[in-house]
Structure 1
Amino acid sequence: MEIARLLHTFGGPMLALFGGIGVRSVGTLVTGIGSRTATVDFSDAPRPCKPYRPERERIVSGDPAQTVSFAYQSEDGHFLAGTWTCQPGKWHIEFAQNEFVHILEGVVVVTDGNGLAKTYRAGDAFVSPAGFAGTWDVRDPVRKYFTLGGPPG
């Protein structure tokens, strides 16, 4: 499940993480594949996937069970958009692609490799650039919109 690994493990939100959802299943989670001339409404996205977690060795604390629902994927697969949720927990992340995040609910503390921490709450938006490495510490259950773009690094 390379798309998920890209989201939060190596790509910014994830994978082998979709416990039970294989790579071939991603197409069933994504609407809007291919050429589109209309907008894509996130409310039309498929239901979230079965919860998954970061790889055990990346988890620092808690039980960061996560779900993702992809609303859109470009034909070339280099741009994704959707909704992601996570329960409280802290884990190490490495982003291979750029990710734009808009927090809808909850609180997350994002700490970079130099120890600089930033707290994001509902209403906040930020970008994790490709190459970002650090930790995500979800303090209150998070729900976010995300876009993930650019060729994997």
Structure 2
Amino acid sequence: MSIIKQLITSGGPVLAYMGVVPVLRMVPFLRREPPPLLDGPLQQTVEFPAVQPAAETYLPPFSTILSGNPAQTATYIYRSPDGLFAAGIWTCRVGKFRIDFDRAEFIQILEGVVTVTDAEGVSRTYRAGDAFVTPKGFSGTWDVIEPIKKHFTWYGAGSEEGFSAV
């Protein structure tokens, strides 16, 4: 009998509150709008083209080339307004060169084969279909075994020598 009294005593106000809450949500000035998903107007997506637009060929600094002729092209497909994020397409002919990454970069190999060796001598070979991240501060070599093509995205401030804008 005491359980029934307790349910009636405490259950009544809870049930009454639950009945009023949906009604309160119908009052316009008590409704909250969801926060916007983006600041400012909606942005459009940017697609990578099926064929890389024409880009000027360049070489890394002569002092960094270890073998071969690692001539390269780079085309930006997108750059953020603040200049801290970019995405594009990069190609390189067969050759080996030293490289220091001054920003973090995501890489997806589309064609070719490359062996990346870090400053400690640890090597990894990447082929078409592989994806990896090179952190800011990475120092090592790229040995392009078969001509390579990659999609890249990078984040952070850094140099843009040799890269052509689209």
Q: Which whole-Å deviations, capped at 9, do the CAs of 1:2-46 have from their partners, x for residues lacking one?
A: xxxxxxxxxxxxxxxxxxxxxxxxxxxxxxxxx871110111897
TM-score of the two chains, using structure 2 as the length reference: 0.68
User: In structure 2, what residue type is equivalent to 1:84?
Assistant: W
Q: Does 1:140 align with 2:151?
A: no
Tell me which amino acid in the other structure corresponds to 1:66. Answer: Q
Q: 1:49, CA displacement in angstroms?
A: 1.9
1:94 aligns with 2:100: yes
- How far residue 47 of structure 1 moved from its aligned partner, in angstroms, is 1.9
Matching residue within 56, 62, 65 for 2:62 = 56
Q: What is the alpha-carbon distance in structure 1 between the residues aligned to residue 50 and residue 111 of structure 2?
A: 20
C-alpha RMSD over aligned residues: 1.9
| CA distance in 2: counterparts of 1:45 and 1:39, whole angstroms | 18
Contiguous gaps of at least 5 residues in structure 1: 1-34
Q: Which amino acid aligns with 1:90?
A: K
Q: Is the 8 A contact 2:103 2:157 kept in 1?
A: yes
State the structure with more CA Rg.
2
2: CA distance, partners of 1:44 / 1:100: 19
Mapping for residues 1-153 of structure 1, pairs under 5 Å: 37-43=43-49, 47-152=53-158
Tell me the amino acid that sits aligned with residue 132 of structure 1. F
Structure 2 residue runs without a partner (length 5+):
1-40, 160-166
Give the counterpart letter for 2:80 in structure 1: S
- Does the 8 Å CA contact 2:52/2:89 hold for their aligned counterparts? no
Count of aligned residue pairs for this structure pair: 119
In 2, distance between residues paired with 1:45 and 1:138? 21
36 and 93 in structure 1: CA distance in 2 versus 1, 3 angstrom threshold = farther
Q: 2:55 is paired with a residue of what secondary structure?
A: coil
Report the secondary structure of 1:57's partner residue.
Answer: helix
**Could you say which residue in structure 1 is the equivalent of 2:163?**
none
Question: 1:48-82, CA deviations, whole angstroms, 9 ceiling, x for partnerless residues?
Answer: 32100110000000000100111000001100100
Residue 92 and residue 70 in structure 1: after superposition, are their counterparts in 2 closer, same or farther (change >3 A)? same
Alpha-carbon deviations, 1:75-118, whole Å to 9, x = none? 01100100000000000000010000000000000000000000
Which secondary structure state, in structure 1, belongs to the residue aligned with residue 49 of structure 2?
Answer: helix
Give runs of ≥4 in structure 1 deviating > 6 Å: none
